[in-house]
Amino acid sequence: MLEGVQLVVTDLTELPQQLQDLLGQFSAVLQQGPGDLGEAIPLGSLADGGSLTLPAPEQAESGDAAVAVADSGSAGEVPLLTDLQGLLKTLAYDCLPHPAASSPSTPAPAAGGEAPQQPAAPAAAPVAQQPVSYLGYAPTGGTPEEPSGTVPVLAGVLLLSAVGTAGYRVSTRAARSRG
Amino acid sequence: MRRARAAELARPLAAFVVVLAACLGLFAVWQSRPEADAASAAAAGGVPALAPLPPDAPVADGPIVPARLQIPAIGVDATVEPRGTAQYENPFTGARVDGYGVPRSMWTTAWWSDGPRPGSGRMAVILGHAQAAHGAVFDDLADLRAGDEALLVDDAGAVQHLRVLGAPLTGLDKSTSALADALNGHPAGADVAFVTCGGEFDEDAGASEDNDVVFATVVR
């Protein structure tokens, strides 16, 4: 199963390079004489929107690759081939795995060691959490920092007593003054 | 004349003493009644009578902001209020230190809101008082044992179930970095640390000498 996947990846990697080489050969032929190429590959159709059928990987590997163009027309120009080569280079660079870089599915083996057998990392791997620095002081004992209810109650008792005494004195004086 | 004047002053003075004694007596009786502790707790802004949790309360499936804590093994059923980091003067060292904000009431608890939330994958800290004159919410925290159950509930009623991990850590000296060391080196799997005071109460410092910590892990 894994070998099959690797084979496909290898083919995709090599195919654009082979196409670039092929186009390079075409350019050389065109520079020698476009008449020869016009019979084999009517390149003008590419500029007109003709479809380009890529060869199968097996064909590319075996050297039997051919570019079939659906439309016919006048012989193509060299700049078109150059542009096509550029496009293929861009495709190879941007869309295919670079041989030198390690990919998640085919990690590079460690130097002098065996290749790791770990599965590819998930796409949405959780972000590493920041460590927490816990504080070292917690004043959770003893009397809370809140007003005690005892002092106000005592003050109230004293006030009530004073008011009662004053009231008694006033009433006594009033009784005496009447008497 | 002088005797009459003295008699005139003695009566109101006697009345004052009688009324004062009566009031003090009433106050003493009122304070010594059985539910005095509960009344004191109520005056402190907390308490007790929270509605029972519905049996079909949904289970929290992620981190929560705790609003209520239940630890049935030690009879805790208290609100949880968020408290951030606060500045204190450590009475044992005299140094200004960053510490955990503590609950206003003896009967409520505080979640350290500058730290992680329970269930976030990092350990949250929940604090409660102990050793108060009329009792406090975490008085029996050090009696917890491994496997004891705790529940945290958020404002929406979602419940997070926890189990105590290991034995309580006691005797964490407040004059050292013992508490920070214990929390920073918490056991693997600890999702919540319950923190309170322990040890002897230092009258001069006006504070307990130690901290106690109990770790718990979220079980579902």
* Inter-helix orientation angle A78-95/A2-32, to 10°: 160
Mutate to test the interface with A, among B100, B113, B177 (most CBs of A within 10 A): B100
In a domain, B128, yes or no: yes
What's the structural domain count of chain B?
A: 2
B165 within domain boundaries? yes
Q: What is the pLDDT of residue B136?
A: 94
**Average pLDDT value over all residues in chain A:** 58
Residues of B in contact with A132 (CB under 8 A): 115-116, 122-123
Task: Please check whether residues B76 and B23 belong to one and the same domain.
Answer: no
Candidates B67, B51, B47, B77; CA nearest to B159 is B67
Position B55 in a domain: no
Separation of first and last alpha carbons in chain B? 88
Q: For residue A108, tell me if it sits in a domain.
A: no
Reported ipTM: the value is 0.78
Q: Which of A31, A60, A95 is the last residue in one of the domains?
A: A95
Q: Is the dihedral of CA A80, A81, A85, A88 positive or negative?
A: positive
Select the residue of B23, B112, B195 nearest A157 (Cβ to Cβ).
B23
Considering only CA atoms, which of A58, A62, A65 is closest in space to residue A23?
A65
Size of interface A-B (CB pairs under 8 A): 132
**Distance in Å from the first CA to the final CA of chain A:** 122
Give exposure, A108-142, as e/b (b: 16+ Cβ within 10 Å).
Answer: eeeeeeeeeeeeeeeeeeeeeeeebebbbbbbbbb
Residues A86, A23 contacting (CB under 8 angstroms)? no
pLDDT in tens, A54-106: 444 444 444 444 444 434 444 444 566 667 766 766 666 565 554 433 333 33
For the cut 60, the answer to whether the pLDDT of residue B33 exceeds it is: no
Kindly state the average pLDDT of the residues A159-168: 79
Would you say residue A135 lies in a domain?
Answer: no
Question: What is the Cα–Cα distance from A41 to B154, expressed in whole angstroms?
Answer: 74
What is Dmax (Cα atoms) for chain A? 150
Across the interface, do A144 and B125 touch by the CB < 8 Å criterion? no
Note whether A141 contacts B201, CB cutoff 8 Å.
yes
Residue B124's domain spans which residues? 66-218
Check CB contact of A179 with chain B, cutoff 8 Å. Answer: no
- pLDDT at residue B54 tops 50: yes
- Claim to verify: residue B16 and residue B102 sit in the same structural domain: no
Section B83-107 average pLDDT = 95
Structural domains of chain A, count: 2
Q: Which residues of A touch B128 (CB under 8 A)?
A: 140
- Please report the pLDDT score of residue A97 as a whole number: 54
What's the pLDDT score for residue B100?
97
**A2, pLDDT greater than 80:** no
Is residue A165 within 8 angstroms of chain B, CB to CB?
A: yes
A169 interaction partners in chain B (CB closer than 8 Å): 11-12, 15
Q: Residue B158's pLDDT band (boundaries 50, 70, 90)? A: very high
| pTM of structure | 0.53
Tell whether B25 and B86 lie within a shared domain.
Answer: no
Range with the poorest average pLDDT among A55-64, A137-146, A156-165 = A55-64
Inter-chain residue contact A135 with B85, CB threshold 8 Å: yes
| Choice between B200 and A41, residue whose per-residue pLDDT is larger | B200
Phi first, then psi: give them for residue A23, nearest 5 degrees: -65, -35
For residues A138 and B195, is the Cβ–Cβ distance under 8 A?
yes
Cβ of A175 under 8 Å from any chain B Cβ? Answer: no
Give kind and range of the element (H or E) at residue B128: strand B124-128
- Give the pLDDT score at B15: 75
Instruction: Mark yes or no for CB contact A165/B90 under 8 Å.
Output: no
**A138 belongs to a structural domain:** no
